[in-house]
Amino acid sequence: MSFTPDSYSPAPDLLKDRIILITGAGDGIGAEAARECARHGATVVLTGRTQAKLEAVYDAIVAEGGPEPTIAVIDFAKAQGDDYRAIANALAEQFGHLDGLLHNAGILGYLSPIEHFEVPKWLEVMHVNVNAQFILTQELLPLLKAADDPTIVFTSSGVGRKGRALWGAYAVSKFATEGLMETLADELDYARVNCINPGATRTAMRRAAYPAEDPTTLKTPADIMPTYLYLLGPDSRGTSGQSLDCQPKRVRK
């Protein structure tokens, strides 16, 4: 099936009975993805570092009549192996499998030339944006393998495909994310693995990167959800190793 975000029309029960874990589910794109997955029938596992934000998303989903979510607090900057394993063990006990994994959490760090980029900040960005995804994926693969139609989605960026001055560790981490996705996609025959590039989207991260920008000119997280639903649901069966844009550039004819 050929996919374009503008023409995609997901079935209302697209994700019925699916268990989907979303990182960074307390704010921005991740919070909207959690609500949208629940609206389409998924039981979402809300992970993030700020419990109060995760609880607010939990309450919103329940208030809308969605399947009751699960919350797992984890700070990827500080988590150790046992913290990841505890999530995997809890999910194994509660559900026995995992249908979808959306790696959405990420940090910008700051914009700075490489020459002046502080080493601790560089390491933090690489750890949260890359290493944590690797560790979480590794812990969750047995649960994904136990699912009928597992899908893994990593979050990339335009600067993960073409480097740009000042974007430092963030850009390099997104290149690494693309590499992790491609490598894993090539290794797994039981799950599809893809990247999603949200494009410029109205969130706190975007505001931090472009403080002078008028946010009303940007797409909202809700606007970009079709590509998330596509990759997290059964319509993307057979698609793996791809990096999809939520806001593809129009090709002028």
Please give the positions annotated as active site: 170
In the complex, minimum distance from the CB of residue 16 to ligand NDP, in angstroms, rounded to a whole number: 25
The sign of the CA dihedral 180, 237, 100, 92 is negative
Contact mark string toward ligand NDP, 208..247, x via CB under 6 A: ----------------------------------------
Pick from 182, 199, 189: nearest CA to 245: 199
Q: Does 201 bind ligand NDP (CB under 6 A)?
A: yes
| Distance from C-alpha of 130 to C-alpha of 252, rounded to nearest angstrom | 35
Q: CA triplet 65, 66, 71: central angle to 5 degrees?
A: 125
Q: Does 49 bind ligand NDP (CB under 6 A)?
A: yes
Write out the two tokens for 219.
């797409």
Q: Report whether 150 contacts 144 (CB < 8 A).
A: yes
Which amino acid is present at 151? T
Contact mark string toward ligand NDP, 65..104, x via CB under 6 A: ----------xxx--------------------------x
CA distance to 108, 120, 150, 232, per residue, from 80 (Å) = 22, 18, 25, 27
Q: Does 27 bind ligand NDP (CB under 6 A)?
A: yes
Binding region for ligand NDP (CB under 6 A) out of 28-36, 57-65, 115-123, 234-242: 28-36
| Distance from C-alpha of 188 to C-alpha of 107, rounded to nearest angstrom | 27
Interface pick for ligand NDP out of 43, 157, 236, 247 (rule CB under 6 A): 157
| Distance from C-alpha of 24 to C-alpha of 120, rounded to nearest angstrom | 22
Contact mark string toward ligand NDP, 101..140, x via CB under 6 A: ---xxxx--------------------x------------
Contact residues: ligand NDP, CB under 6 A: 24, 26-30, 48-50, 53, 75-77, 104-107, 128, 155, 157, 198, 200-201, 203-206
